[in-house]
Amino acid sequence: MRIDPLKPHPVGSGPAKSAIRPPQKGRAAKAEQDRVELQSRAVKSQPKKNAVPGFPAPDLSPLPPKKWTVLLYAASNDGWSPHLKEKIWDIEDNMADLDNVNFLADRLAPPDYPLHDYRNKVIASFSCLDPYRSKEIAREDRIPVNSPEHLEKSLLLALKKYPAQNYLIVIDSHGSGFPGVIFDCKEKSFMPIKDFRQAVQNAEKAAGVDKGQVVLGFDTCLQGEAEALYEMKDLAEYIVASPSEIRFGGWNLGAVTGKENLGDLNPREMVEHIMDKNSEQLLVTETIAAYDPKMMPQLKAGMDELGKAILKDRPEKARLREALQSAQAYDNITTLPQKYVDLGDFCRKIRSNPGIKNPAVRDSAEKLQKILGKAVLREAHNPKTFPQSTGISAYPAYCPPESLPDNPSHSRYRDTAIGKETSWEKAMVMLLGQAEGKAR
């Protein structure tokens, strides 16, 4: 039976019948009723031990540990919202290996969803999923859909109350790469990637969970982007995401959670299982890739080296620009003036262009390709829509000065380590800008 996680369950939602006194008559009866009511209020007002601030009353006392805890964090206040309920139903209909795996979902959505009514504040309903009757554990009303504070509380509840050897955290919302993830359609803003990172780190630290126990998945658009992946390198042992937009539907979570021996998988095997099930439906996911976060410092260094080589090769600027603009591109869903470019295909285009002769540029492109080969553990792409995809995109960080007021997302680029600490942006400005080397 499918249960709407946003509706309170009738079973157990009220006081036990034995706690309700039969009606009495007279002043004594009224006094007794007042005493019972005051006592009830006093009990409700007492803070529970290990309670998560802001959640009405979740208890963080840990349950017996299992092999895996799977959390779907599903957040949307636009046309994606009804689809998230279907995702939860899909897990409930297919989930297997319940003895070894906890299945959880925190759905952030408007209380009553008419498609024409976009709301800023949503209800967050945290549930323990079950194939017969899922149980709501906690609820928080009227919060922004992209609240990092709620994300941290939700993760802490999952990690601490449902301990496990390993954890799979799946973010299902809208993504934009380095500008952020989890979109608030009312405010037209994403949760900044640095706020997302801090929320996850705080929850893992408070729960005593090591990043080596965590697989972090993004059932969103565009999070398989170099600048974003670097910012999230300390959150998980593996990350699974898409460098492109994904179509309506996203991951096949029913197939992922329906494996009979799911609990027996180690983190790398879980990643392979996710890739297997979602590589079967590339007309929906379009692209998907698994990443090794430990390779991100080398990736950053490789982008910096290539950027420096490009800056010194001004005579070949036109050919380098041609390589950049002919590489596999990915549309973005923000106001960014440039499409994301496939980093591996850009390197490939440099090396295959006979007009680019500078050995420093060619060598740095080859070196970056080798780094990408280790950073991308596995990738799959739709050969019709993204034939040259290699798994990681990057932002060609140039915005015409006259367009800056209309591109607030572009200003977040220098909040990233790659934007602040490498020569990548200067190289892109040289290739794409009207005035060579002139900063924004």
pLDDT for 249: 79
Q: What pLDDT is stored for residue 39 in this prediction?
A: 46
Give the residue range(s) of CATH 3.40.50.11970 domains in the chain.
66-291
Check if the beta carbon of residue 174 is closer than 8 Å to that of residue 183.
Answer: yes
The model's pLDDT over 71-111, given as tens digits with 9 standing for 90+, comes to 999 999 887 787 888 899 999 999 999 999 999 999 998 87
| Residue closest to 316 by CA, chosen among 355, 353, 277 | 355
CB of 121 within 8 A of CB of 133?
A: no
Looking at residue 291, its pLDDT comes to 98
DSSP 281-337: THHHH-EEEEE-GGGHHHHHHHHHHHHHHHHT-GGGHHHHHHHHHHS-EE--SSS-S
Q: What is the largest CA-CA distance in the chain?
A: 100
Helix (H/G/I), strand (E/B), else coil: 378 = strand
pLDDT in tens, 11-26: 333 323 233 333 334 4
CA angle (152 as vertex; 88, 294 as ends), nearest 5: 90
Asked if residue 239 has pLDDT above 80, the reply is yes
**Residue 200 predicted with pLDDT over 90:** yes
Does CATH place domain 66-291 in 3.40.50.11970? yes
Provide the pLDDT confidence category of residue 27 given band limits of 50, 70 and 90: very low
pLDDT surpassing 50 at residue 437: no
Q: How far is CA 410 from CA 119, 178, 246, 250, 336, in A?
A: 26, 9, 22, 26, 6
Confidence label for 294 from pLDDT (cuts 50, 70 and 90): very high
Nearest to 130 by CA among 157, 98, 158: 98
Separation between Cα atoms, residue 35 and residue 20, nearest integer Å: 13
Cα distances (Å, whole numbers) of residue 98 to 66, 103, 136, 176, 197: 9, 8, 17, 34, 30
Q: How far is CA 5 from CA 2, 86, 170, 209, in A?
A: 9, 11, 17, 27
Q: What mean pLDDT is reported for the chain?
A: 85
* Phi, psi for 136 (deg, rounded to 5): -75, 125
User: Among all chains, which residue has been given the structure tokens 């898409």?
Assistant: 242
Least confident of 59-73, 254-268, 423-437: 423-437
Of 17-21, 224-228, 354-358, 359-363, the least confident: 17-21
In contact, 145 and 189? CB cutoff 8 Å: no
324/317 Cα distance (integer angstroms): 10
Q: Do residues 433 and 405 make contact, with C-beta atoms less than 8 angstroms apart?
A: no
CB 324 within 8 A of CB 298: no
In percent, how much of the chain has pLDDT > 90?
A: 66
Confidence of residue 165 (pLDDT cuts 50, 70, 90): very high
Side chain identity at residue 289, one-letter code: A
Q: What is the pLDDT of residue 439?
A: 34
Distance of CA 167 to the CA centre of its chain: 14
Asked which of 118-127, 182-191, 368-377 is least confident by mean pLDDT, the reply is: 118-127
Put simply, whether the predicted model's pTM sits higher than 0.75 gets the answer: yes
Position 160 scores a pLDDT of 96
What pairing do the DSSP bridges indicate for beta strands 66-75 and 101-109? parallel
Token pair in block for residue 56: 């009405």
Q: Nearest CA to 393 among 299, 311, 283? A: 299
Average pLDDT over residues 338-361: 96
Show Cβ contacts of residue 329 under 8 Å, excluding neighbours closer than 6 positions. 339, 340, 341, 342
Contact 224, 245 (CB under 8 A): no
**Residue 345: per-residue pLDDT:** 98
**Interatomic CA distance for residues 111 and 124, integer angstroms:** 9
Helix, coil or strand: residue 240: strand
Contacts of 85 (CB under 8 A, 6+ apart): 4, 5, 6, 107, 109
pLDDT confidence of 8, banded at 50, 70, 90? very low
